[in-house]
A = this chain, B = another copy of it.
Amino acid sequence: MSEKIYVGVDVGGTAIKVGICNQEGELLQTYEGPTETAKGTDVILQNIAQYAKNIVEESSYNWGQVEGVGVGIAGFLDIPRGYVKFAPNLKIRDVNLKDYLEDTLQVKVLVNNDANVAALGEAWAGAGKGVDNCVCYTLGTGVGGGIIIGGKIVEGFAGMAGELGHIAIVPDLEAIQCGCGKMGCLETVSSATGIIRMAKDAVERGDRTTLSLVENIMAKDVIDAAKAGDEVAARIVNRAAYYLGRSMAVLAVVLNPESFIIGGGVSKAGDFLFDQIREVFEKYTQNEAKDGVKIVAATLGNNAGVVGAAGLILRA
């Protein structure tokens, strides 16, 4: 009998990435094409279907081996129906993506949001391989998240589970308003955007920092300055780490995951950041809920999305 394969599609605003995985989550082949967002919904949908066909055609596999196609997409979804209510960066509204792709490709299709899918990728074949329960953070422009329990994505009542960036963790006294409208969300302090904001505030306040010499401050500049011993930058990075650690201490007694997996641009700060997170986690977490629990870096990088999308078929 020929090997079963799983196709994963990661739909971004600029490019659509496609991958073929085997049953173990190994990425066997990849393909990438332009999303062509400007051409509108119909073209985007056709591209998704076409690229999925292309990758299999270009490979040594055939459609008969495809067990299903999983799709990760950023936006507001009705996950069980595979329905896209609104995907802001694609300007897609009210489309049943699952139905369209199943009609076109004649295989089982599952759709989920990009952060959940990336978490599933790491859980299946990345830093969480072999782990049943894990919580994934993606530290980028915002703070994304995904929760895997018993090997499966936790979606929640309205698909809002795993929105870790919107954990209200900063106390009222020092909270600022998040883009979501609420006060004190984790991503106001622990995202790249949050780190940049705190750095700009410090420069404007006239704090003595090497960051005042940087023209267009990026999160990496702040982390580099902190590593180089700049006290103001170090305080900012520590604040980002502090609230990440506090949020993990909460999740440790709520879900008691085996691993916390951290990916995204800010996570490239490495152990300099991770050790500060671990220290806070250690301080605020009960022994029974932290014994053997690991805080580790994501390992799949940009491939987490396609791998996790392929995994939807096996793990949903």
Contacts and interface: CB of A to CB of B under 8 A. Distances in A.
Contacts of A147: 254-255
A158 B288 contact: yes
A68 interface: no
A164 B256 CA distance: 11
B149 A258 contact: no
Given A149-B149, A167-B250, A250-B168, A161 B286 contact: no
Interface residues of A, number: 46
Contacts of A250: 167-169, 250
A84 B284 CA distance: 26
Chain A interface main SS type: loop
A133 B157 contact: yes
B284 A163 contact: no
Contacts of A254: 147, 161-164, 167, 251, 254-255
A163 B289 contact: yes
A293 interface: yes
Interface string A229-259: 0000000000000000010011111111110
B166 A286 contact: yes
A74 to B, nearest CB: 14
A257 B169 CA distance: 19
A159 interface: yes
Interface string A65-90: 00000000000100000000000000
Interface in A179-193: 180-184
B164 A253 contact: yes
24 contacts: A133-B156, A147-B255, A154-B255, A156-B255, A156-B256, A156-B289, A157-B256, A157-B292, A158-B288, A158-B291, A160-B253, A161-B255, A161-B256, A163-B253, A163-B254, A163-B289, A164-B254, A166-B253, A166-B286, A167-B254, A168-B285, A183-B284, A251-B254, A254-B254
